[in-house]
Structure 1
Amino acid sequence: MRLFFALWPQEEVRTALKTAGWRVAKACGGKPTRAENLHLTLVFLGEVEPARLPEVRAAADAVSARAFELDLRELGYWPRQRIAWLAPTEPPRGLFDLVSALASGLGARGFALDDRPYLPHVTLLRQARCRGDLPKVDDIVWPVREFVLVSSRLGNEGASYAQLAAWSLPG
């Protein structure tokens, strides 16, 4: 199983992200992320044996984090990967606390995780070719009240995702 933890947007946030993606696509070309696939990755586990799924869930069960808001207002482009993205200009402490708690719990259970710095973002567009200034998109305020465990499958049409479980964040 190919697994990751993520923030999954509510419908109104998903609609705003989709609108932003189409606006950027008009300027940069490329392929907008399908609305049902829009998310912000917290921790990517990669391939995990199905027998280890209870350990993954136990790591999430042990997380003690509170709800927070993401203010997505920074539009950016990674030319090498040809990805246009939207991110919080100043990610809230709650986001880093959640990522740290998940990574710590997973690491304690023997899962090997990526050690690169965490760069929270929502991928709006792939195969983009942005030149010059990026278009203006509306700021998006995302009230984060839960996180999810997701299984991904890669196919000819790109990735397809299935939510396996969700955990509420109090507050």
Structure 2
Amino acid sequence: MFKLQKRLGAPGKPVAKTNLHMTLAFLGQTSHRQRQTLEAALEGVAMPGFEQRLSTLVHWRGAGVLCLWGKATDSGLTDLYQGCQSLCHTLGLHQNEHSFNPHITLFRKVKQYQVPEWQPEPVILRPDTLNLYLSNSTPVGVRYEVLQSWPLGRA
């Protein structure tokens, strides 16, 4: 990913190498109690392994981000997404208002960008854990801290 960011130049603020990730669900603000309830509930969610191909550069102007994107075709990933969205609904947590778009954000604060005609080398993700992150705002930018992890590959 870092090489791809370098090749693309500086269309915005690059996401730090340690912050590169694919988001399954954005939860927004949660209380300590909500987090504890979520963590306990996730123990009962099927967490199949999956493979995700990311191979298309997309600029989402409204969000101001440049991403490496791929269509969700692996049933393990789509089942995990649906299970998590259902759990968020049950717990009264934030749910995605858009359809699921597997992606990794490469740059933020991208106002204008013409996606190049060339396409990057595909990135194939085969994660072995599902991580719950805390987003910490710091003077040098956002830092993501892993709060809890669950192994993938259990159905």
Would you say the 8 A contact 2:50–2:76 is kept in 1? yes
Higher share of residues assigned strand? 1
Q: Aligned in 2, Cα 1:18/1:166: closer, same or farther, shift over 3 Å? A: same
Q: TM-score, normalised by structure 2?
A: 0.87
Whether 1:159 aligns to 2:142 is yes
- Which residue does 2:64 correspond to in 1? 82
Matched residue, 1:123 = 105
Name the structure 1 match of 2:37.
55
Whole-angstrom CA distance in 2 between matches of 1:22 and 1:105? 38
> The residue matched to 1:40 in structure 2 has which SS?
coil
Change beyond 3 A, Cα 1:79–1:116: closer
Determine the structure 1 residue equivalent to 2:4: 20
Counterpart selection for 2:79 from 97, 120, 125:
97
Is 2:51–2:124's contact at 8 Å kept on the other side of the alignment? yes
- Quote the sequence identity (%): 25
> Distance in 1 between the 2:98 and 2:6 partners?
29
Quick one: distance in 2 between partners of 1:136 and 1:118? 22
Matched residues in 1 for 2:55 and 2:115: separation?
Answer: 18
Distance 2:2 2:119 in 1: 14
CA RMSD between the two structures: 1.9
The DSSP-based 3-state class of the residue aligned with 2:113 is: coil
Structure 1 ranges of 4+ moved more than 6 A: none
Q: How many residues align?
A: 153
Q: Is the CA contact 1:86–1:124 (under 8 Å) kept in the aligned structure 2?
A: yes
Residue 135 of structure 1, CA deviation: 4.4
Which of the numbers 15, 21, 25 marks the counterpart of 1:43? 25
Q: Secondary structure at the match of 1:39?
A: coil
Shift in Å, 1:116: 2.4
Show structure 1 runs of 5+ residues with no match: 1-16
Q: Which runs of 5+ in 2 are unaligned?
A: none
Change in CA separation of 1:80 and 1:32 when aligned onto 2, cut-off 3 Å: same
